[in-house]
Chains A and B, each alone.
Chain A
Amino acid sequence: MTKAFSPSPLFERVERARRRKRKIKDTQITLAHGSGGRAMHELVEGLFLEYLGNPILDTLEDQAILDIAQANGHRSARLAFTTDSYVVDPIFFPGGDIGKLAIHGTVNDLAMSGARPLYLSAGFILEEGFPIDDLKRILDSMSSAAREAGVQIVTGDTKVVQKGSADRLFINTSGIGVIDSDVRISAARAQVGDKVIVNGSIGDHGTTIMIARGELELETEIESDTAPLHLLVNEMLTEAERIGAPDGIHSLRDPTRGGVATTLNEIALKSEVHIRIFEGKIPIKDEVQGACEILGLDPLYVANEGKLIAIVSAEIAEQLVARMRDNPLGRKACVIGEVVAEPEGIVSMVTGFGGTRIVDMLAGEQLPRIC
């Protein structure tokens, strides 16, 4: 690491191509646009931002941070606001169902800003013929997930469409939370020298869904990791404050669609840093590893629903990990990598084998309707 980075001409050419302003060239939506990978980024940056962009949306964080102005001398408040739609197939799977996912996903998007999630909305699109019993089961699951997470569903909407116009049911949830502290957590704040932490084994959710579809006749014990992460985040923030580094947690993201690889790429791009991870340190369950070997999937790209990636200053990393391990959702927390300066905007992995490779964003579609 003593020598400076010296990019080859090949490298420069690829990096220039990667940094080009995203334009959408496709004439119709394909499944690749929903994969969480590069095609989706093109859709979002090349189309949605083109028409709908504003300074808040343009940050492309998982949630909008709203500074509510101090009108009439009242003190100001910072709100986190987010929305997400759930189309997972199958709607019931080991470890959860679409309803539980709809609560946890939105709670987690709020939590990744350090917010305390408070209120959720729920919108349902139901296909004609959908069994009421299944709906009851899903609502029951939503109700307990919301209770556990300490949030209330305070507004909602229902639409029914003809058979064939939607597949069983889709759920949208939006959420509001309050950011109590002054922390400014952002994917753009990763700094050289920071450590990369994950709170447990990766790839559980995506692998579970793939197997639950029953197309592969694999039998495993793998369950979705779906879980609300705001309490864990709160403990992390408290710990950072206790050890005198209240601002030491720089970025938080939940690696859902596109997996850890895509999330790290987003952070590396936004923060203009290089993230280097170590294959040997990334926790992956044997069952997940095995299923991925058979299916030809890379666990780094497989979705998670109860995991977070934290980029934190090196001084607090060890203590933070120790604190996280006290929480059931952080039992397997560990440092998996570090932030270095160059080559910026890229993620690399030192393989268990001793080589190094680039970990790029997902290019094609791996698994549609994963959440």
Chain B
Amino acid sequence: MKYIDEYRQSDLASRLADEIARLTSRPLKLMEVCGGHTHSIFKYGIEDLLPPNIEMIHGPGCPVCVIPLGRVDDSISIALRPEIIFTTFGDMMRVPGSKTSLLDGKASGADVRMVYSPLDALKIAKKNPARHVVFLALGFETTAPSTALTILQAAKDSVRNFSVFCNHITIVPALKAMLDSPDLRLDGFVGPGHVSTVIGTRPYEFVCEEYHKPLVVSGFEPLDILQSIYMIVKQAVEGRAEVENQYSRAVCREGNRRALEAIFEVFEPRDYFEWRGLGSIARSGMKLREKYAGFDAELKFAVPGLRIADPKACQCGEILKGVKKPWECKVFGTACTPETPIGSCMVSSEGACAAYYNFGRLSKVAERSGLSAMP
């Protein structure tokens, strides 16, 4: 299929993998920050192709995975109000709160609907003037512009029965927090692709300047990722630490000015936002500006707003930081499975644990036993 197959050619992939192996035999730990990359790495079995000295650490870039339990509980408490139509992305439905998920809430009578875009939620609001529609907004700068534009549209059309429960987060403070974490030893980053289409590559320059780590912004197709890994390894070998842009077909240094303007118009940073497993990170969350307070579900509805500690058994934090591998978590694959997730890393297909569970169980082992040979 055009525009897809070009990026998935296996002969090019094995050549790239050979080139990576030729660069160095030094052990290198690289983190892909973005959940989309984690998903691709597992879906296409990219780790199978990498030489054994290159280790991928699966970072915190799955927005569903880092939503804290308390915010899920808050969502459910809003959704259960009879006047509410609660809308969210499909991934969010099964994320467990402290007791239940939105899917359970729906079974208990809450009107919870899956949408593909916040504009769909606004449409539902216009169609149901007697009800109030809440959109659970989440994600990095990738999805924030569409939430912002939806709010601007709602303001323009004077829609009164629509509000947003905002859980948008920003990538740079999270990256900083990771880099400042004392137990983290990384040699480079596969930089987020979709986020960078919005924010550009300039905001990552501190990674190289202050922390001297190479970062390559990458696309999501398997060849994109392999090429990015090649570029990072090359930098490491040559002793460089630069921001490079592999995803130049979508990303430029300055980002998308109009999208950034929309974000700036509607949102402002929160002083602190809690990340599941990582704790509170300063100025890492977004909230609606005063001017758009009328669309802020947090102000409209009294949400319990409790901080709930992560389950003791769950080691999502260590896994998100790459300190532990999913299988080093005691509950991985036993009590915590994609059907009955305890930690949120197991819920979304972009979560490191779910990716391991679904795609990774066979990888290295399979290769050794020759499973990947075509008949």
Do residues B93 and A353 form an inter-chain contact, with CB atoms below 8 A? no
A355 & B45 in contact (Cβ 8 Å cutoff): yes
CA distance A25 to B342 in the complex (A): 14
Known: A6-B368, A354-B13. A13 touches B333 (CB 8 A): yes
Check B45–A5 contact: CB distance below 8 A.
no
Instruction: For chain B, residues 325 to 374, give those with C-beta under 8 angstroms from any C-beta of chain A.
Output: 327, 332-334, 337-340, 356-374
Pick the interface stretch among B99-107, B204-212, B231-239, B311-319. B99-107
155-177 of chain B: CB within 8 A of chain A: none
With an 8 A cutoff between CB atoms, is B253 at the interface? no
B375 touches A338 (CB 8 A): yes
Q: Which residues of B contact A360 (CB under 8 A)?
A: 338, 357-358
| Interface residues in A257-296 (C-beta closer than 8 Å to B) | 276, 278, 286, 289-290, 293, 295-296
| Contact B374–A353 (Cβ < 8 Å) | no
Report the Cα distance A31→B114, complex, angstroms: 12
List residues of chain A with CB within 8 A of the CB of B332. 10, 13
Is B43's CB under 8 angstroms from A276's CB?
A: no
* Nearest chain B CB to A309 CB, angstrom units: 18
Cβ-defined contact, A8 with B106, below 8 A = no
Contact B371 A348 (CB under 8 A): yes
- The contact of B367 among A32, A278, A351, A356, by CB within 8 Å, is A356
| A14-B357, A351-B43, A355-B363 given; A5·B369 CB < 8 A | yes
Which residues of B are found within 8 Å of A286, using beta-carbon distances?
1
Q: Check B306 for interface membership: any CB of A closer than 8 A.
A: no
CA A294 – CA B336 in complex, angstroms?
Answer: 29
When chains A and B are docked, how far (Å) is the Cα of A9 from the Cα of B334? 12
Query: Are A32 and B94 in contact (CB-based, < 8 A)?
Result: yes
Of B43, B104, B339, the residue contacting A357 (CB under 8 A) is B43
State whether the Cβ of B48 lies closer than 8 Å to any Cβ in chain A: yes
Q: Is B8 close to A, CB under 8 A?
A: yes
Q: Which residue of B lies closest to A274 (CB)?
A: B371
What does the 1/0 interface line of A13-37 toward B look like (CB < 8 Å)?
Answer: 1101100000001001111100000
In the complex with contacts A30-B106, A356-B362, A358-B361, A13-B334 CB distance below 8 A: yes
Is A11 within 8 A of B365, CB to CB? Answer: yes
| Contact call A354/B370, Cβ cutoff below 8 A | no
A339 to chain B, nearest CB (A): 12
**B372: chain A residues within 8 A (beta carbon):** 350, 354-356
B272 at the interface (CB under 8 A from A): no
Cβ-based interface call for A365 (8 A):
yes
Q: Which of A10, A216, A354, A365 contacts B361 (CB 8 A)?
A: A10
Q: Please, how many angstroms separate the alpha-carbon atoms of A6 and B339 in the complex?
A: 26
Contacts of A319-357 to chain B: CB distance below 8 A? 338, 343, 346, 348, 350-357
User: Do residues A350 and B334 form an inter-chain contact, with CB atoms below 8 A?
Assistant: no
Q: How many whole Å from B326's CB to the nearest CB in chain A? A: 8
Q: Give the docked Cα–Cα distance between A336 and B367 (Å).
A: 20
Interface residues of B in 47-62 (CB under 8 A from A): 47-49
Asked if B368 and A38 sit within 8 Å, CB to CB, the answer is no
Shortest Cβ distance from B39 into A: residue: A296
Q: A39-B339, A215-B116, A338-B375 are in contact. Are A3 and B369 (CB under 8 A)?
A: yes
Closest B residue, CB atoms, query A297: B90
Q: Mark B267-285, 1 if CB is under 8 A from A, else 0.
A: 0000000000000000000
Chain B positions 82-113 with a Cβ under 8 Å from a chain A Cβ: 90, 93-94, 103-104, 106-108
Which chain B residue has the least Cβ–Cβ distance from A8?
Answer: B365
Candidates A2, A16, A32, A355; contact of B370 at CB < 8 Å: A2
The CA-CA distance from A352 to B271 in the complex, in Å, is: 46
Q: Which of A5, A31, A293 contacts B103 (CB 8 A)?
A: A31
Say yes or no for B301: interface residue by CB 8 A criterion. no
CB nearest neighbor in A for B335:
A17
Chain B residues contacting A11 (CB-CB under 8 Å) are 361-362, 365
> Contacting B334 at CB < 8 Å: which of A17, A30, A31?
A17
Quick check: B366 and A348 within 8 Å, CB to CB? yes
Contact A7 B338 (CB under 8 A): no
Name the A residues within 8 Å of B375 (CB-CB).
278, 338
Is residue B128 within 8 Å, beta carbon to beta carbon, of the partner chain?
Answer: no
B373 contact set on A, CB distance < 8 A: 1
B371 near A3 with CB under 8 A, answer no
- Closest B residue to A16 using CB positions: B334
Measured between beta carbons, the chain B residues less than 8 angstroms from A348 are 362, 366, 371
**Residue in contact with A14 in the complex, picked from B14, B333, B371, CB distance below 8 Å:** B333
Chain A proximity of B142: nearest CB distance (Å) = 14
Tell me the smallest distance from the CB of B224 to a CB of chain A, in Å: 12
B74 at the interface (CB under 8 A from A): no
Contact A4 to B369, CB < 8 A, known contacts A28-B107, A355-B44: yes
Residues on B with C-beta less than 8 A from A8 are: 364-365
Distance from A239 Cβ to chain B, minimum over Cβ atoms (Å): 23
- Closest-by-CB residue of A relative to B363 is A356
B219 at the A interface (CB under 8 A): no
- CA A61 to CA B359, docked complex, whole Å: 27
A127 at the interface (CB under 8 A from B): no
With a cutoff of 8 Å between Cβ atoms, the chain B residues found around residue A7 in the complex are: 365
12 more contacts with CB within 8 A, not counting A5-B365, A28-B104, A42-B339, are: A1-B370, A5-B369, A13-B334, A14-B361, A17-B333, A17-B334, A30-B106, A32-B94, A278-B375, A286-B1, A354-B13, A358-B358
Write 28 A-B pairs (CB below 8 A) sorted by A numbering. A1-B371, A3-B370, A5-B365, A6-B365, A6-B369, A10-B333, A10-B356, A13-B334, A14-B357, A17-B333, A28-B104, A28-B107, A29-B107, A30-B103, A42-B339, A276-B371, A296-B90, A348-B371, A351-B43, A353-B44, A354-B10, A354-B13, A355-B48, A356-B372, A357-B43, A358-B360, A358-B361, A360-B358
Residue positions of B touching A, CB distance < 8 A: 1, 4, 8, 10, 13-14, 42-49, 90, 93-94, 103-104, 106-108, 115-116, 120, 222, 327, 332-334, 337-340, 356-375
- What are the 6 tightest A-B residue pairs by CB atom distance, in nearest-first order? A355-B45, A363-B338, A10-B327, A14-B333, A357-B359, A355-B48
